[in-house]
Amino acid sequence: MKVLITRPLFEESIELISAHAELEIWEDENPITRELLKSKATKCDGILTTVMDKIDADIISSCKNLKVISQLGVGVDNIDIAEATKSNIMVGNTPGVVARPTADIAFGLLLDCARRISESYNWVREKKWDVAFHPMSWLGTDVGGATLGIIGMGTIGREMLKRAQGFDMDVLYYSRTSKPDLDDLPGIRYCDDMTELLQSSDFVSVHVPLTPETYYLISYEQLQIMKPTAILINTSRGPVVNPSALYQALNEKWIMSAGLDVTDPEPIQFDSPLLELSNLIISPHIGSASIQARKQMCMIAAGNLILGSNGEKLEHCANPDVYSQIGLL
């Protein structure tokens, strides 16, 4: 059994995989090229991928021995799921474990934007702090008592809700369906129309997967109806927010500020006009980047890789319909 790992992992997960399979690890600092990935994957029973690896129909169709694609992460929008299922390939992911650390980053960005922490820190580093105190300088906005709009009430959205409750925030949420266990709780209300949420929220935090329906979910129209004092947070996927629309919204003060942990493209291009804005904070896709979470993710992904390469059901499978096709009922 042979497997390919496209990024270095924690040693414990490498040891687990090496006990069951012959493995090759891409150790280079830069992501593996598409051509190399395709060439190496054709010889493998399983591959362990990250969001930076584009596993399209061409790569999948060329891998006649491939049984499993084990993704290090929850989202699998970089993988052609339909083609994988058609080719009898299981696709694993690592849900659950990323919810808390990602919500931490989202709420951290929210606090940072609200109180202009990074912006003021950069000002101090530029040696501009020449007045000890001024009652009208560096005014931000309160978080406690404000209204948070959560778009996408999955596991990460629910963790964001918990953090908002700790700050006595009112919460509006928009999701495909209402959540009966939330609808009777005080201070929480379901919006069946995203427009209402955008118009009424002081903060908007996006927690949806990237699908054709959520591509540019937040664009010109949505940003124009938000409050001029509103703050937008995106820790889901970069293309959920239209970067050109966001630039105009921030530059022309349609909204107060924004915090991103994801960009489109990713990494962000260094000549992007977004990097010129003082009312935008960007972190480099670190939502799940706690030691504890990444270790768990690596172990789950390693387990999925081993199980799938052996033709067994995965701990977490993103395309469970494939099981009936390969006789795993």
Choosing from 116, 163, 237, 316, the catalytic residue is 237
Choosing from 116, 158, 163, 285, the catalytic residue is 285
Please choose, from the candidates 244, 299, 246, 238, the residue with its C-alpha nearest in 3D space to the C-alpha of residue 52: 238
Read off the DSSP letter of residue 140: -
CA distance 268 to 208: 20
* Catalytic residue flag (residue 237): yes
Choosing from 266, 312, 315, 316, the catalytic residue is 266
Q: For the chain, where are the alpha helices, taking DSSP H only? A: 11-18, 34-41, 57-62, 81-86, 99-115, 117-125, 155-166, 180-183, 194-200, 220-224, 243-251, 291-309, 322-325
CA distance 281 to 233: 9
CA distance 85 to 320: 9
CA distance 170 to 166: 11
Please choose, from the candidates 257, 262, 237, 261, the residue with its C-alpha nearest in 3D space to the C-alpha of residue 247: 257
* Catalytic residue flag (residue 285): yes
Q: Compute φ and ψ for 241, nearest 5 degrees.
A: -115, 125
Which residues are designated catalytic?
A: 237, 266, 285
